[in-house]
Amino acid sequence: MAGTYYFAIVGQSDKPIFEMDFIPVTKEVKKEDNRHQNQFMVHAVLELVDEHMWKGTNTYLKSVDKFNQWFVSAFVTATQMRFVMVHDVTNEDGVKNFFTDVYKAYIKLFIDPFYRQDTTISFPAFQKEVQLLGKKNLT
């Protein structure tokens, strides 16, 4: 079952530093129509993510919130960067695997001397890798 996914990496200053949509070819959805709604949901759930982050030791927070037909899952890194996924289907294993794989890619980026932490990620190699990981884990 293919669903629609919106992924964001939110920095320590609550500013999204990376965003990507995963929309199946069969759906005719305009990215810009949902972009503002997805960004709103991500910002609205950050407080809940912070609450869950301090309650336990898990990095993957599963389904943190639900808004109409949309589920919001989150993952928190050791440096307190938040990975947030807004999706319309329940795919806990796929989302967890996606977060884990993206975290590995983020660590590689983090140790790159040309990347400054908590700044917008605009490296084409990272974007392509996240896109491939989305196809691998979310379809």
- Domains (range + CATH), the chain: 5-138 (3.30.450.70)
Bridge partners, 20 (sequence order): 7
Are the CB atoms for 121 and 8 separated by under 8 Å? no
Q: What is the pTM of this model?
A: 0.88
Question: pLDDT tens track of the chain, all 139 residues?
Answer: 478 899 999 998 899 999 999 988 776 655 556 778 888 888 888 888 888 777 777 788 877 788 888 899 999 988 889 999 999 888 889 999 999 999 999 999 999 998 998 899 999 999 999 999 999 999 8
SS3 101: helix
